[in-house]
Amino acid sequence: MDRVGTALVLVSAAGFGTLGVLGELAAAAGLSIPTVLTFRFLLATLLVWLVLGARGDLHPLRGRSLAVGVALGAVGYAAMSGLFFWGLTFMTAGLVGIVLYTYPVFVVGAAALRLGERVTRLTVVALLAALAGVALVTGADPAGADPRGIAVVLAAAVVYAGYITASRSALATVDPQVLTAHVLPAAAVTYLAFGTATDRLAVPATAYEWAVVVAIAVVATALPIFTFFAGIRRIGASRASIVSTTEPVVTLLLGAAVLGEPITPVTVVGGALVLGGVLLVQIGPK
């Protein structure tokens, strides 16, 4: 396996893995979810456009492709992100990362229902393993777990699976990075409108608040997007998806190191079941 490609995907997983911890820091600083997500998507949009523009790869979408990109961002990605950050108000960042990472299994299920892909015995085992991991974490009620949070983040995983499934048709004719460049601003507009309507949108007031928001936009959004696509070019999508399963592990470890979140044996076993289910669907027969 290409070491550079693997390293790029690991950097991407580590970047995405910081989102839960940074989200907890943003909440502790008093930043509302609409504020965090509005500035996350606005700043990430600026960075993505600058990089793609400098490379000559930014091509504005038109017609149906534009409509699909806007819908994916304004509805799908916006809803998933909001549910993710809402889940952080109930649970630790580590547990949110574990539960959200059930989404690849739901992607397989959604593809079977919507795209007619074959459901194998391995797929069923993978789904059961992932859900058993979530049930174990919830049922044992370790520190930081909350059934409401589990429900919210599972909903985020299902929405994200739907987003990925729906984006497959667009990606048949559109470069993934170009699609992302349209998804991000659409999501930003959603939270700009929502935050304004609910009077929950505010400009970060201190250097620390800006630092957290910028870190979310750069470290947890723009950087991992580019490194993931760069890694895919070198090692392929299947291998990249397997390497990226390190993401919830990063979140769990960072949550313990930065926020002092507990890592219990039950959390480790439940997380291992979730990742085991994900790996089964990634390496199983296609």
Do 9 and 245 contact (CB within 8 A), yes or no? Answer: no
List the chain domain ranges: 3-283
Q: What percent of the chain has pLDDT over 70?
A: 91
What's the mean pLDDT in 33-60?
A: 94
pLDDT in tens, 141-181: 555 567 889 899 999 999 998 888 888 777 778 888 899 99
Residues 187, 133: Cα–Cα separation, whole Å = 31
Which residue from 75, 71, 70, 61 is spatially nearest to 174, judged by alpha carbons? 61
pLDDT at 134 over 90: no
* Digit-coded pLDDT (tens) for 214-254: 999 999 999 999 999 888 888 877 677 778 888 888 998 99
Contact predicate 174/7, CB 8 Å = no
E strand segments, the chain: none
Q: Which residues are within 8 A (CB) of 76 and not within 5 positions of it... i.e. 6 or more apart?
A: 159, 160, 162, 163, 166, 167
How far is the C-alpha of 223 from the C-alpha of 180, rounded, in Å? 13
Collapsing DSSP to helix, strand or coil, 90 comes out as: coil
The alpha carbons of the chain give a radius of gyration, in whole angstroms, of 18
Can you give the pTM of this predicted structure? 0.88
For residue 285, the 8-state DSSP code is -
pLDDT in tens, 174-211: 888 899 999 999 999 999 999 999 999 999 999 999 99
